[in-house]
Structure 1
Amino acid sequence: MVESISSRARRHARAAPGATHAARPTLFDARALPRWHYLVALAAGALNTLSFAPTPHGGWLALALLAFLYAWLTRTTGWKSAALTGGAFGFGNFVTGVWWLYVSMHDYGGMAAPLAGAALVLFSLYLALYPALAAGLWSRCAARADSGSGDAAQRVMAGWYSALAFASAWALGEWLRGTVFTGFPWLASGYAQVDGPLAGFAALGGVYGVAWMAALAAALVVQALHALMMGQGRRRPALLPALAACALLACGIALAGVSWTTPADGPLSVRILQGNVKQEMKFDEAGVTAAVALYQRMITEKPADLIITPETAVPLLPQQFPEPFGRAVRTFADSTGSSILLGGFGATITPDGRMIDPTNSLFGITPKVNLLYRYDKHHLVPFGEFVPWGFHWFVQLMNIPLGDLARGKPVQPAFQVRNQRVDVDICYEDIFGEEIARNLREAARPASMLVNVSNLAWFGNTIALDQHLQMARMRTLETGRPLVAATNTGTTAAIDARGRITARLPALTLGSLDVAVQGMTGRTPYITAGNSAVLIGSLVLLALGFVRRRHRRGGDGIR
């Protein structure tokens, strides 16, 4: 790949002295790219799925593939071909990385296989628009889309701005994907670095800051290799980008050892329950009755400071809980001093007794306190918990029982457990790091630990489970706080404040996990600033690219 780039550059370096600048071929020659160029980009995107969990230490593979993408983009003939290249890479990544959505729609949602497959392809095409946008934006800011002076290749491949623009456009594209239409930040490239060399940057800039650093390091490596191959034995031009890339990796590794938070009092004993209730039984009458009996037994089996059930463990409103269940759980909490977080449904009760505005909720039972704590899910899943405008016909093709739910408040109080405060979230809320950081930032008394409850049975025993756990690990790196995950079928786990999994239950098994969790206090830079630093820096750098292009057009006649 890099060899072909350098050989092309050598060819126009050997062009006849009398040739005009306009006649010389450049790295951005206006000829059309062959179709295999885009097929190779698609294959590289598919390979990028292996950068994420369950692949161990996939961060190094992610860096190599980002380097390939940057080098491959330098072959493009303009912003349109760059966008197609980025889009092909993204489509390959998403269609192989979120294929488990087919399982959700077909196996559990009952959608016909051709429709489920088509929906997966269309959704992957939509997601691919964001890397396409990033690649096109990079080309507009840093590359030459027309023929011009013979040193275009040097300006793009050896210029610092090209690498900075690639990092900025890539991070901005990923942030947009995680924001537009409620967002779907699954497979954001920063997640691959949880066990990689750049994980230390998570506490500074979050997952998008890690992505920015990864893209920059990848681009600098390519520039160093290109300079080395173009230098005809001279190594000095390759030295600076190589040293810069090594410095980024070294800083990432060093920052991973920095403790931004400190222990908050003593640890809590926590029991995490995994009921392994089959999805097809979860909402029918017999399944609900069985779940009530199961979780009554599991909750009252053994005391702990905090006992956590999965999302909608008992898929009922508190007013609908069977009286023996409510009495048994309350008596157990009062007699043992155990606090309990119980997944269920909430609703608003009207004066005439009607239940409106149902919510996906988590209820907290505090020993000898009659008032229930309640957390209502804020970031709802499109098509599963709310129906976007104009898509009711699509949801009707699936057998999803939740329908349209009401949203909870963006910032809600933490749950007090002895001397610790616990921030809770439900299902895929924990893949939105900015929202968790905002909770900690705006709270009068920030929580010392995080809890996520999920029901991933919708996705079977697929890579979705490990991918979700990997994203939960990123939240601990960003916030410097431990996280415990309670799931219905997997992956139930405890993660310490450094992102390490300290205990985990096997998927698709019934059981409980007993762990000691040390809460942490203090703020990481990411809690303080959120995504602001990455976004502002990226926008400023990209804006400079447009200014530079306009200046060149006016100053040297380049079109």
Structure 2
Amino acid sequence: GWVFTGFPWLQFGYTQIDSPFFGIAPIFGITGLTFFTVWASAVIFNFIFALSKKQWNLVSVNALLLLVVGGLSAYAGKVNFVQPKEEKGLTVTLAQGNIEQNLKWDPEYLYATVDIYQKQIFEHLGTSDLIILPESALPTLENAITPFFEALDRVAKEKNTEVMIGTVYRDEQSGKLLNSIVTAGNPDFPYELTTKNRYSKHHLVPFGEYVPLESLLRPLNSVFNLPMSAFQSGDAVQPSFMAKQHAFAPAICYEIIFGEQLRENLKKETDYLLTISNDAWFGDSIGPWQHLQMARMRALELGKPLIRATNTGISVFIDAKGNIEAQAPQFEETTLTHKMVPTEGKTPYAALGNLPIYVLSLIFVLLRGFTTLLKRRLNLSQK
């Protein structure tokens, strides 16, 4: 999960998001749910083994253990750790441009891409509170097209609609190239390159967005020179990203698989989780569906509704229990509009992170050590 920047793709616990054990996630998070998945599998094996050997005392012990975990999960699944704030709902539109990966960074396709998203934006200005475009929606430096953003900022303000856009941005002070999100039409943060209302991706994809040991590897082969593979990281913890006076905790693409990072960026005022992505890299494989499953888990763990805007799909609205409320079809140029209601309060995992599962693991180890020592002493006394 963290060695060499980490790659916790599809931990075993994700298999349980649609199972009766989903209720463990808001308490122990995906690490805890993975722990219980592996542990329950071992208990089931021991139960079957004891049954085959007619060791009835072990059969009853393992059956009891399964009932305890099942009961805990069933109870947790019915508990509402967070409450909806009905009066603060937002009507949100997701713009899905469906730009093929082989065209996405083609300079000759820039104007066609701008035209697609401009049309989708103008269809919903004045009717939606917020319009969200996917990761790096416009395939050029934001710095190079600031007149477009300034014009959009003016029009969006007139229509009382805000627009979030995933951009490629170069910080002119530090020189950093950043994968970021910025807003247009926000009266509190008028659009400018130096706006404080910007989120910049922290957890970058190795080789996809940056090259480890760059000075050694880049000269070796063109495989290490993918388009836009020279990004730098934003801060690990950043201020809430604001739109329509609502606070968002963002994660760009790959970052959504890191539950602890998103939890650390959760603030008391956070209304929604937000992720924007370009899953066109995956083609028609199972990858986008796996990515979506992990995004659903973040909503379930943290008890916050999640909004996911993507280039080719799967663009969705997810409630605080990890259920999909509305979903756009994959590989279609389309928009999806839905009213999202934020929540208040915290799940145990949002408050404590992985601490409870670490403590529980330590208790299990100590108990095992104690019972082993006790057995040895009993055996010695009997001898």
Tell me whether the two structures share a fold, i.e. TM-score over 0.5: yes
Equivalent residue in structure 2 for 1:247, among 50, 53, 68? 68
> Any stretches of 5+ residues in structure 1 without a counterpart?
1-177
- 1:198–1:249 contact (8 Å) kept in structure 2: yes
For 2:118, the equivalent position in structure 1 comes to 296
Tell me if 1:286 matches 2:108.
yes
Alpha-carbon spacing, 1:240–1:553, altered in 2? closer, same or farther (3 Å): closer
Q: Any residues of structure 2 matched to 1:224-243 within 5 Å, and which?
A: 224-231=47-54, 235-243=56-64
2:180 match: 361
Are the equivalent residues in 1 in contact too, given 2:97–2:117 (CA < 8 A)? Answer: yes
Q: Give the one of 244, 249, 253 matched to 1:427.
A: 253
Distance 1:395 1:260 in 2: 51
Matched, 1:404 2:225: no
Q: Whole-Å Cα distance in 2 between the matches of residues 492 and 463 of structure 1? A: 15
Equivalent-residue separation in structure 1 for 2:7 and 2:276 (angstroms):
19
Number of residues paired by the alignment? 370
CA distance in 1, matches of 2:12, 2:30: 8
Q: Which residue of 1 aligns with 2:135?
A: 311
Q: How big is the shift at 1:552?
A: 7.9
Correspondent of 2:27 among 198, 204, 208: 204
Equivalent residues in 2 for 1:440-459, closer than 5 Å: 440=266, 443=267, 445-459=268-282
1:95-494 matches, cutoff 5 A? 178-231=1-54, 235-264=56-85, 265-303=87-125, 304-321=128-145, 323=147, 325-350=148-173, 356-368=175-187, 369-371=189-191, 372=195, 373-389=197-213, 390-392=216-218, 396-397=222-223, 400-440=226-266, 443=267, 445-494=268-317
Using structure 2 for the length normalisation, give the TM-score: 0.89
Q: Distance in 2 between matches of 1:299 and 1:236?
A: 66
Separation in structure 2 between the aligned mates of residue 320 and residue 328 of structure 1, nearest angstrom: 14
Q: Deviations over 1:24-83 (max 9, x none)?
A: xxxxxxxxxxxxxxxxxxxxxxxxxxxxxxxxxxxxxxxxxxxxxxxxxxxxxxxxxxxx
User: What CA deviation, in whole Å up to 9, does each residue of 1:440-473 have, x standing for no partner?
Assistant: 1xx3x43111110000111101100100000010
Q: Contact conserved, 1:364 with 1:415, CA < 8 A, in 2?
A: no
Query: In the alignment, which residue of structure 2 is the partner of 1:110?
Result: none
Contact 1:385–1:403 under 8 Å retained in 2: yes
3-state DSSP of counterpart to 2:247: strand
Compare the two structures and name the one with the higher helix fraction: 1
1:236 CA drift (Å): 4.3
Note the C-alpha offset of 1:364: 1.6
**Structure 2 unmatched runs, 5+:** none
Please tell me the root mean square deviation across aligned C-alpha atoms, in Å. 2.4
> In the alignment, what sits opposite 1:173?
none
Change beyond 3 A, Cα 1:387–1:547: farther
Q: Which has the higher contact order (CA 8 A, sep 6+)?
A: 2
Residues 219, 400 of structure 1: alpha-carbon distance in 2 compared, 3 angstrom cutoff = same
Going from structure 1 to structure 2, the CA distance change for 1:485 and 1:394 (only over 3 Å counts) comes to farther
The separation in 2 between residues aligned to 1:531 and 1:336, in whole angstroms, is 44
> 2-side partners of 1:491 and 1:519: how far apart?
21
Q: Which has the higher strand share?
A: 2
Task: State the AA in 1 paired with 2:112.
Answer: A
Which of the pair has more CA radius of gyration?
A: 1
Letter in 2 for 1:308: I
State the distance in 1 between where 2:354 and 2:38 align.
17
1:420 Cα deviation after fit: 2.2
Report the CA distance shift for 1:284/1:545 in structure 2 as closer, same or farther (over 3 A).
same
Partners of 2:221 and 2:334 in 1: CA distance: 33
Quick one: distance in 1 between partners of 2:272 and 2:231? 27
Contact 2:135 2:253 in 1 (8 A): yes
Give the counterpart letter for 2:198 in structure 1. Answer: R
- Specify the SS of the correspondent of 1:349: coil
Aligned-pair CA distance for 1:245: 0.6
- What is the CA-CA distance between 1:429 and the residue it aligns to? 0.5
Q: Is the 8 A contact 1:315 1:343 kept in 2?
A: no
Provide the rounded CA distance (Å) in 2 between the counterparts of 1:185 and 1:530.
Answer: 16
Tell me how far apart the structure 2 counterparts of residues 366 and 434 of structure 1 sit (CA, whole Å).
31
* C-alpha distance in structure 2 between counterparts of 1:228 and 1:184, whole Å: 39
Q: Structure 1: which amino acid aligns with 2:113?
A: A
CA displacement at 1:540 relative to structure 2: 5.1
Residue in structure 2 matched with residue 147 of structure 1 by the alignment: none
1:209-250 per-position Cα deviation (integer Å, ceiling 9, x unaligned): 11111222222222222222222xx74441121122123123
Letter in 1 for 2:218: H
Corresponding residue number in structure 2 for 1:163: none
Structure-2 separation of matches of 1:555 and 1:291: 76
Please give the TM-score of this superposition, normalised by the length of structure 1. 0.62
CA shift, 1:288, in A, is: 1.9
Measured after TM superposition, the shift of residue 546 of structure 1 is 6.6
> Displacement, 1:549?
6.9
2:21–2:70 CA contact under 8 A, matched in 1: yes
* Pairwise CA distance, 1:548: 7.2
User: Secondary structure at 1:457's aligned position in 2?
Assistant: helix
